Structure 1
Amino acid sequence: MSGPVVVGVDGSRSNLAVVEFAAREAERLGVDLELTQAVGWPPGAGRFGIPSWEADATGGHAATSGVLAEAERRARGAAPRVRISRGVLVGEPGTVLERESRTASMTVVGNDGARGRGTLGASSVAGHLSACVSGPLLVVRGRPNPVGPVLLVVHGTSTLRGAAEFAFAEASARGADLVSVQLRNISATRPYGGPAPAGTGDEEDVALTEALSELRERYPDVPLRCRRLHGRSRRALVEASADSQLLVVGVRDRFRFARLPLDPVSQTALHEADCPVALVRC
């Protein structure tokens, strides 16, 4: 990964914690951090819809600069060695971050639009990006255990290798254990209903063994443990996330272009996990 870690900035107190998280992530990956603030079209936008960023009577430009300056200060405090860029882009936050994600190593957002037990609203930035972002999306949520493991969710062969590679790299960079959690409740794991293909479990076992064996050789510093969750696997997955510092789940990239809903496992992780969640396009 060579592109920056892109993080959305909105000036809220909770968002500053997201910025700090993104800064530490950029430091672990050895890449730049890009602070991105999305704003609507200002009054008096210039010809062809191009806005002027000169300060106006309302002090809009000064306010925008102040938000990014505070975000940069917090980012430097969290990761002093990271090179930081910042910018203001016109548009809806989800659309702006979707565009920026195309050249990013990772896009980081907070659990905005939450209600109830942290369920994402359909109009939230994280909810929007989960359907269309390019590359990994990291949603900062829950109460991560800073000394807990990285949790890799195994729920099908099509996303296994890409998600596993990301999880091993994260565990290595964090100096953490990696726990592979294999779901066996088929009703919770097959994407859009319908009968489960015959032999799915055996094929997944073989693919998992091959992928993990290869990656253990590439990341000998990462202790690996494997678990299987039976019964109410989605509930067990949420419970397992409570002791983790990051949950990694793969999502099929071909559905991004059709903007189809996430599969049930990814939705459970994104909506209910008690730690940050990384959605990895595979």
Structure 2
Amino acid sequence: MTKIKHIFSDLDGTLLDDQGKISKKTQEVIENSNLPFSLVSARALQAMESLINQLNLKSSQVAFNGRLIFAKNEVIKANPMVHASAQELIKTIKKDYPEINLSLYSLSDWYVEKIDKDIEQEMQFTPQVPKLVDLETLITERPRLEIFKILLITPNESKLEEIKKHLEKLNFPDIIIQKTWETYLEITHLEAQKAKAVQFIAQREQLEQSELAAFGDNENDLSMLKAVGLPIVMANASDDLKKNRKSDYEKQYRRWCRLWNSKIYY
């Protein structure tokens, strides 16, 4: 079997526990593997930095579902949303779903229109302090503002699905809408898919697909799992993801157990 030379991992629900922490055992395995390890997350760069430092990661990392690839003190690749599309989406969401908790992320800032329990919960996982603004005014008055992500939060899962379907019917040609958590819906540039980031890093390091492994648990991880030779679906993964990977889930899970427990990388 081909030896794995680079590992990619989602964060929330995969590498992290329910408190957003990395277990001591997990950290030891990563540190002792001596393999490049890339975090591939929907999070902003600032919300990943402490974890990167904790694990002492030197390889390329991925934020905003793939739209930002970076290493320590270096932005390798950055592709924000088309400003006009982001502007129209903000206007539409505020008009059709005024009750929805709405956030907007630039490379350096997090903008919100209210700070409620959902935002306070999100603040526990990032050093960023959200800036209170009117999003329509912000995006209109700053046409050069680079927007990497629009985040919608609602505790109602059926409502989340309704909003997703509604926005998809608008047929924006340059965006992708992905459910990244039970209560999170994230809108990014169409190219913001984890697979594209994985492929970019692999090409940069001259690695074959068979030499890559990835861990994931949610809808936005599917493209990444399909882009590697060894995809591992977590036991707590969404039902849709398990169903999609059903054909090789059990086999890959057994290989994952050997990989994680014995530190032997195939």
TM-score (norm 1): 0.28
The structure with the largest alpha-carbon Rg is 1
Superposition TM-score, scaled by structure 2 size: 0.30
